[in-house]
Structure 1
Amino acid sequence: MLWLKAFHIIAVICWFAGIFYLPRLFVYHAMAEDQATRNHLKTMERKLYRFISPFAVLTIVFGALLVAPNIDYYLQAGWLHLKLLFVIGLVAYHLYCGHLVKIFANDNNQRQHVFYRWFNEAPVIALFAIVLLVVLKPF
């Protein structure tokens, strides 16, 4: 069980590292004025998204494996239900980032860098909520 927990935490850290950095690349991309810089950022965005996507899957798989042995307890744990809502939100955020990677790859971005600066804050809120829920188990 400790191995699963360790791998779950490692996958979460890797996923979040990318989910924090990818929108920052979007900020730079939206601000870029020359095509060479935009092309370089397209490559970085594509490679980072491909790198973090398996960690998103591993996070969910290891999390599910941690819950499975004590499913009766977790079905009653309100904190876990709320945590899972945040995880679902993060998965949606991750998928939307993939959509944005394609938009930037096709030079179809219509948003300014300010949007992406605010967009970049959403996973921070989710991270705080998830960690507090897991550690404090308030209900």
Structure 2
Amino acid sequence: MAYLYLKAVHIIFVVTWFAGLFYMPRLFIYNVEANEQPQPARDLLHHQFTKMMKPLWYGITWPSAIITLVMGLSVLLKGNWTAVLFKPEGFWLLLKLVLVLLLYAYHYSLHRIFKQQMAGNYKYTSDQLRMWNEVATIFLVAIVMLVVVKKEISVLWGLVGMILLIFILMLAIRIYKRIRNKGK
């Protein structure tokens, strides 16, 4: 019974963590694009985005990432998943854990961008940040597919699906950029 509660809390905080991972790069993009505005609008926008980013990052995204990790480890141990981790039937779980580790690296990369922007350093263009914004989507799709489909998914078809998803996301970004540039 406790296992199901741990799992439920884990899923809840995965959702809130991803909410932050999806929205934070959007705020980075808007903050960068504020540089295109004349003064005093530029400073007002930077001030507003800073006010929005800090509570999102420190009040929702970071705590959710930590609780997700703690609950995930609890589910792993309480559900005795470690017994199958290095066996053929646990390959999906091992792959999921590798993707989760990479997701935490992505989270850290967003933290670095956050710190840069808080210091007034805008190293990336809005187009670069738009592409970086889609990385969370790729992780979400890959991890959910592994958890739901487990060993029924073929690694080859999983990779083909991910490449196709990446292609579609990049195409959508390019189409959006064209539409946006026509509007200017």
Same fold (TM over 0.5): yes
1:36 aligned onto 2:44: yes
Larger radius of gyration: 2
Measure how far apart 1:41 and its partner are. Answer: 0.7
* Aligned equivalent of 2:53: 45
* Aligned equivalent of 1:8: 10
Tell me: higher relative CO, structure 1 or 2? Use CA pairs within 8 A at least 6 residues apart: 1
Contact 1:15 1:56 in 2 (8 A): yes
**More off after superposition, 18-27 vs 107-116:** 107-116
Q: In 2, Cα distance between the equivalents of 1:36 and 1:83?
A: 42
- Please identify runs of 4+ aligned residues in structure 1 that moved more than 4 A: none
Structure 1 runs not aligned, ≥5 long: none
1:75 aligned onto 2:83: no
Q: In 1, Cα distance between the equivalents of 2:103 and 2:43?
A: 31
RMSD, aligned α-carbons: 1.2
Secondary structure at 1:110 match in 2: coil
1:128 aligned onto 2:130: no
Measure how far apart 1:74 and its partner are. Answer: 2.7
Measure how far apart 1:75 and its partner are. Answer: 3.3
- Amino acid in the other structure paired with 2:101: I
Q: In 2, Cα distance between the equivalents of 1:42 and 1:15?
A: 19
- Amino acid in the other structure paired with 1:126: F
Structure 2 runs not aligned, ≥5 long: 153-184
**More off after superposition, 122-131 vs 71-80:** 71-80
- Amino acid in the other structure paired with 2:58: R
